[in-house]
Structure 1
Amino acid sequence: MSLVSHRAACAALTLLLAGSPAMADLQVAVGATSESTIALKMEVDRLVPLTSLHPRLDLRLATGLLLLSGEQQDDNAALLLSPALRWTFPGERELFVEGGIGGALFLKTRVEARNLSTAFQFEDRLAVGMPWAGGELSLALTHYSNGGIKRPNDGFETLTLGYRFPL
């Protein structure tokens, strides 16, 4: 990762934590892309209750890094901004579903055989999860695409299993 992208990532994480670090959590997820590339996602996030709209609705605000492994020069990384709406179902297990559209800024415009054309990509995410061992366990499907800003638009997906640690 370049020094500039490392500094940008640190600045984004600092801004998210600046208001009240006790309200932020760490999300770590591992999985694979649609190109079978190993994906590691690390995010710092906050849950903002939207009880004025509905008692089971929250807004998840997250920022972090997506690291993609690769052979020789094929690795890649992205700075993420990932808002999502969360609906928690009633019951003892407190199962939840999340969905959101965010953005990603990639270091390279290639992921394995995929040509992304632009460093900026939209991030469409769906996740399901539940509380587990003091934190939260989740399974997420994320699609990255430039939304047709420039051709070719060879987006890709990641499927990740994550754990959210309370800080």
Structure 2
Amino acid sequence: MRITVRTEGPDRAENGFRIREGGKLDAFDWRIDKHVLDRAKAFLCWDTFQNLSIQLIEISSVTGYFLPPERDRSTIVLFYRPGNPDYSRPLFLLFHEAGHCIQYEEWERTERTAEFHKHMETGTGAIQYAFEKEAWDWGRDILKDFLARENLDGDLLEKYDTYSAECLASYR
């Protein structure tokens, strides 16, 4: 599948690379289009998790939530700004929340769901930092699979790592 991304100016983009006039590739100056976010939703709901629903909701600020299973189905709700020229942050947040889905499954196997729910309500601190970092790490693994499947540039993982570090800093 060919993924095109929006760029500014007369340049064009293919498969996650901005192609400048003259054919020079620039992998560091490109933006994720909304349809990549939609493809990620399909990948997570249909190919990765059996019992997951995802709602993408337009709103003025990017926010995401993972809701543990109710009647055997987990839910991710992701709020994002419509008409955004770059959907990389919503994409990264979507995969972070998917990381919580794997995290919940792992904690459920070890009969720690009560502890999981407690952590979902905790604000900051070293324990919360470790809890959220675990979800970011799981999300990174899933994102890596998605990028490979969609033939998107692996440099997105570096951008994911940068964004996750920014988010994790808020828990300290």
TM-score (norm 1): 0.30
| More strand as a share of residues | 1
| More helix as a share of residues | 2
